[in-house]
Chains A and B, each alone.
Chain A
Amino acid sequence: MKPDLKLILSVSSPLLLLIVWQAVTAFKLFPPEVLVSPTAVVAAFGEVIATGELQRHLSESLTRLAGGFTTGASLGLLFGLALALSKTVEQVFGPTFQALRQIPVLAFIPMLILLLGIDEVFKIVIIAKAAFFPVALAAYDSVKGVPKSYFEVSSLYRAPWWVLISKILIPATIPNILAGVRLSLTRSWLVLVAAELIVADSGLGQMMEMGRQMFRLDIVMVGVIVAGVIGFGLDRLFQLLQAHALRWKTA
């Protein structure tokens, strides 16, 4: 397919959505207090940027995301590796791990608020929890899935352990681990915005919550769009990183 045509096709659905939205508001199918028009949202966009409100909330959110995601993903990686490599760790923590990961992150929010309050620590912990499980599971599964034949080849040539790890185990597991990290990045962002909606004094979610309380649905829509665009951008960025790490596949 030609790149031009590809671009047209990929922007066609958001464009269509925008047209429908504009049409619905132009015909006043819903009262403007309930559904604001795209033009009002654009105006609100200009407003929150001019006052610096959006930048402030967004940088708060992204800082939280960075802290929580990095903590959760790295702990998840280490835990997943330990779970896969040690029989003892697997026996002791395996069942707990498998059970805990079935519980939605949001279900922990009430308990965590009581334990940690609504300060920064709470938000970091909730994002870290969201980031932890996909990475841990991916690390565990991918190490468990390394074919026995790889170990046999390594053993035949008496490769030192650091060669086994750096040249065989890491490249063999990195595609799945990266897929897990990508999933956990998306989840972290979703959970962060949701948590900020419930409890926070700043952040993108809180900007939306304050907008809602003041019946400024245009500002709420700004938040919705920014959340979507940031999530999409983070995912695409990670996709590029993944493609770079796996370039041997397409070489």
Chain B
Amino acid sequence: MDYVPHSQIPGHKVKQTGAVSLKGIKKQFNFKDRELKVLSEFSLDVQPGEFVSIVGPSGCGKSTLLRLIAGLDDTYDGTITLDGQRVAGTSLERGLVFQDHRLFPWMTLEDNIALALTNRQISKDAKAKLVADHIALVGLKGFEKAFPHQLSGGMAQRAAIARSLVNEPKVLLLDEPFGALDALTRVHLQGELQRIWLAQGSTMIMITHDVEEALYLGDRVVVMQANPGRITHTVDVNLPHPRDRASPVLHRLKDEILAELTNVPEAPNSVVRLIKGDDQ
């Protein structure tokens, strides 16, 4: 299958900024006297405005990867650049949405979103407008004065997305953003995220456990394996947005990726023997 650049996909707003490049990323954690390799020689190039989904088993270093790009962790080898500039520390150009919404419980929804603007040198009115626009973007108009505990899980996560977008970052990183939500809300928010991405046009890198979600949203799906975390496969999804969940192409790709994720070559011998035993 040939790769169709996202800029040729109908309905997509073209952006010139937001190219993320990871080269030879190595990251390890030290547990007492043991070294645990989390990422090994990880390289990935993301085009401006592209939506890249990353799937992989738990512990393959997916979340660590996003934290490195976000700048929450600076201890790694290799280079990460955004539009050719090496990233150092956190920046308003790189947004991050966590699995938990991480809204502050004592602030109203609009105060939570406005917190993201405290480092911006713009007028009060401009800030208020940005906040209002982004509340509208995620469909939470009318809930400006609500506290997080008054919102449903899905609404709180939308508010978190609004907060991460209010600075109009060049790249938005999403760490299993819908992982804690029920299936129905998840499907709904996937559609919402697609709409927001098409409207905003920023680069998005999303981590997920859900292969269907990865394929439904991603221009490209990166499959990772653990120990150490590395890319084993990349799948281009050449379908226009917004997509049809029932598309046979998505189903075929899903089977392909699931087969790869579940058929771990270095499976312990005992597991293999158990399966054999069942056959007899």
Binding site for B on A (CB under 8 A): 149-150, 152-153, 155-160, 163, 167-168, 171-172, 248-249, 251
**A158, B147: Cβ atoms closer than 8 Å:** no
Tell me whether B123 is interfacial, beta carbon within 8 Å.
Answer: no
Nearest-neighbour CB distance to chain A for B203, whole angstroms, equals 17
Q: Which of B96, B106, B147 has the most CB of A within 10 A?
A: B106
Interface string of B78-100 (1 = CB under 8 A from A): 00000000000011100110101
- Interface-located stretch among B111-119, B177-185, B189-197: B111-119
Q: Which residues of B have CB within 8 Å of A172?
A: 104, 106
Q: Known contacts A167-B107, A168-B104, A248-B147; decide if A152 and B72 are in contact (CB<8 Å).
A: yes
Q: Which of B90, B102, B107, B118 has the most CB of A within 10 A?
A: B118
**A155, B118: Cβ atoms closer than 8 Å:** no
**A159, B118: Cβ atoms closer than 8 Å:** yes
Tell me whether B105 is interfacial, beta carbon within 8 Å.
Answer: yes
Q: Which residues of A have CB within 8 Å of B100?
A: 149
**A156, B106: Cβ atoms closer than 8 Å:** no
Q: Which residues of B have CB within 8 Å of A149?
A: 98, 100, 102
Q: Give the distance in Å from the alpha carbon of A167 to the alpha carbon of B105 in the complex.
A: 11
Nearest-neighbour CB distance to chain A for B171, whole angstroms, equals 13
Which A-chain residue is minimally distant from B92 (CB atoms)?
A158
B: interface residue count bin: 20 to 34
Q: Which residues of A have CB within 8 Å of B90?
A: 155-158
**Residue of A150, A152, A160, A249 touching B104 (CB-CB under 8 A):** A150
Q: Give the distance in Å from the alpha carbon of A53 to the alpha carbon of B167 in the complex.
A: 66
Interface residues of chain B: helix, strand, loop or mixed (majority): loop
Tell me whether B65 is interfacial, beta carbon within 8 Å.
Answer: no
Which B-chain residue is minimally distant from A171 (CB atoms)?
B106
Q: Known contacts A149-B98, A152-B72; decide if A157 and B105 are in contact (CB<8 Å).
A: no
**A160, B72: Cβ atoms closer than 8 Å:** no
Q: Known contacts A150-B104, A248-B106; decide if A156 and B96 are in contact (CB<8 Å).
A: yes
7 contacts between A and B (CB under 8 A): A152-B72, A158-B90, A163-B115, A167-B107, A171-B104, A171-B106, A248-B105
Tell me whether B70 is interfacial, beta carbon within 8 Å.
Answer: yes
Nearest-neighbour CB distance to chain A for B271, whole angstroms, equals 36
Which B-chain residue is minimally distant from A246 (CB atoms)?
B106
Q: Give the distance in Å from the alpha carbon of A153 to the alpha carbon of B102 in the complex.
A: 7
Nearest-neighbour CB distance to chain B for A250, whole angstroms, equals 10
Q: Which 7 residue pairs are nearest across A and B when measured between Cβ atoms?
A: A158-B119, A157-B116, A171-B106, A248-B106, A163-B118, A159-B118, A155-B90
Q: Give the distance in Å from the alpha carbon of A159 to the alpha carbon of B104 in the complex.
A: 14
**A160, B70: Cβ atoms closer than 8 Å:** no
Q: Which residues of A have CB within 8 Å of B163?
A: 157
Nearest-neighbour CB distance to chain A for B128, whole angstroms, equals 17
**A158, B91: Cβ atoms closer than 8 Å:** yes
Q: Give the distance in Å from the alpha carbon of A156 to the alpha carbon of B72 in the complex.
A: 8
